[in-house]
Structures are given as C-alpha cells and as structure tokens.
Amino acid sequence: MDGVTSDRSAPGRRRDEAEAGPGPPPDFRAVILDMDGVIVDSEPLHERAFYEVLEELGYGRNTGLRFADYVGRSDFELWADFVALRQPAQSLDQLLALKRDRVIKVMRREQPIFAGLPELVKRLAARAPLAVASGSDRAVIDAVLALKGLRGFFSVIVSASEVARGKPAPDIFLRTAGLLDVPPRDCWVIEDSKPGVAAALAAGMRVIAITNTHPAHELRQATQVVRTYAEIERLLLRPR
C-alpha cells in the first residue's frame, strides 16, 4: 500500500514511511483543510462545469487549455489564461460567474462530500480549531459547507479572493493561521494537490496529503501521505 501508518515504531515499516517526516507533534493547535478534493469530491464537477460553460459559449473542447493543469489552483487563474488565449466576448467576471453558478448548482444536487470526512471533522473539531483555506470562490465554499452540517465545525474560512497569491504561494495558509491566531508551526494542513502541499510547506506548516486526486508518489513532499480519512484520524488523534 502507499499509505503511511501512524505507528512509526512498527518493525518492517516501508522505506517511504520512514522518510515521510517526523510524527505529529503532541500539541498541534489547529488543523487547516483544503476544500476541493479534501472535503468535497469536486474536481470532476469543476472539470465538467468548466467544459460545459465552454461548450455553451461555443468553444468546444479545443481551447488550448488543459483543465488538469489547474487542479489545486484558482478559477481566476484558469479563466484569466483563457481570456488571454482566446479573447472571448465575455468578461473575466462573467466567465467566473458562469462557472461558479454551474458548480454550485451541481454540488447542491449531488452533495459530493467525501465519505468519512464529516466524521473526521467532528472528531478533529473536538480537539482543536479547524479552518478551511480554499482556492475556490467564497460562494462555492459557503455552498459546500452548508452540506452535511459542516459549517459549524470551522472557526475560520479563507478563500482565494482574500489573498494576493494563490497556492503554491503560502499566502492563504499564512492568512488563515493569522486569523486563527496560531503560529504556522503549530498548524497541520490537509491537502490533496501538489500546489496545496507546496503552499503549506512554504508557510512552515506540516501537511498531510490524501491520495484523492494524485497517487502517493506524486505527493511525497508532504509530511505524511495517507489514503483514507481514518488514517488522518489515527495520525492526529492517536493517544499520547
């Protein structure tokens, strides 16, 4: 398996586990969750919404952009590149709104919260303050957190529009830590994307990467790599 066990003293552990970094500190003070690909299984929905909007606008799929290149980055960057490349009749703001409204509509209908995530959030919230740091639009974040009663477990929410630079820059995580009033070194981040992992590390935080979007070997930079939410619970909430 590619996952990392929480028992670091276990004999015969795999080499990549041994190299995964130090175990979690006994006194972390906050956990910051990415949203897309961590809370909500939204990357396929974003991709579908992106291409549906393009097709409605008459562009088809030959836009010169690959959606996969933008996983973990903001819609703004995606559409800004599209505008620069194709110079459409619609403004950047109009394109962002079309895509945002489409994503919200699909999310409300399908409620694609990852199985096991609500239980993990509930248990983590009993241990430390939780935050969401997401490259998504604030309206999309609010729509997602309205599902499954999640909103009440998060004390801080920061969206892409509130910081100057998106992931992989550390800005969004540093702002989140500031609002939590917790030093970055006392924060753990849960991420699924490579830019997200890089951003958390650049912020001086420890990061658990879950293999919802990329295979484990592509997330090796993370402090820990896991495949399931139960593994995150064992890592962060194991008895001291």
Binding mask 144-183 vs Mg ion (x if CB under 5 A, - otherwise)? ----------------------------------------
Sign of CA dihedral 217, 218, 222, 226: negative
Residue 36 or 171: which CB sits closer to Mg ion?
36
2 a catalytic residue: no
> Which residue out of 16, 34, 75, 142 is catalytically annotated?
34
Instruction: List the beta bridge partners of residue 224.
Output: 208
34 a catalytic residue: yes
CB under 5 A: which stretch of 6-14, 29-37, 159-167, 202-210 binds Mg ion? 29-37
- Would you call the peptide bond into 25 cis, given omega within 30 degrees of 0 as the criterion? no
Residue 34 or 231: which CB sits closer to Mg ion?
34
Tell me, what DSSP letter sits at residue 24?
A: P
CB of 7 to Mg ion, least distance (A): 28
CB-closest chain residue to Mg ion: 37
CB under 5 A: which stretch of 2-10, 26-34, 112-120, 224-232 binds Mg ion? 26-34
For residues 85 and 82, give the distance between their C-alpha atoms in angstroms, rounded to a whole number. Answer: 5
Q: Distance of CA 98 to CAs 43, 54, 92, 141, Å?
A: 17, 10, 10, 16
Residue pair 2/218 in contact by the 8 Å Cβ criterion: no
Residue 17 or 36: which CB sits closer to Mg ion?
36
Q: Of the candidates 34, 41, 75, 171, which one interacts with Mg ion according to CB under 5 A?
A: 34
> Which residue out of 36, 41, 75, 171 is catalytically annotated?
36
The reply to whether 41 sits near Mg ion by the rule CB under 5 A is no
Q: Of the candidates 6, 17, 36, 132, which one interacts with Mg ion according to CB under 5 A?
A: 36
Q: Of the candidates 37, 168, 170, 184, which one interacts with Mg ion according to CB under 5 A?
A: 37
For residues 80 and 86, give the distance between their C-alpha atoms in angstroms, rounded to a whole number. Answer: 10
For residues 34 and 197, give the distance between their C-alpha atoms in angstroms, rounded to a whole number. Answer: 10
Query: How many C-beta atoms lie closer than 10 Å to residue 240's C-beta?
Result: 5
Residue 79 or 114: which CB sits closer to Mg ion?
114
Binning the chain into helix, strand and coil, the percentages to the nearest 5 are: 50, 10, 40
Residue 17 or 107: which CB sits closer to Mg ion?
107
Binding to Mg ion, residues 181-220 (CB under 5 A): 192-193
Helix (H) or strand (E) holding 76: helix 75-86
Q: Which residues are catalytic?
A: 34, 36
Contacts to Mg ion by CB under 5 A: 34, 36-37, 192-193
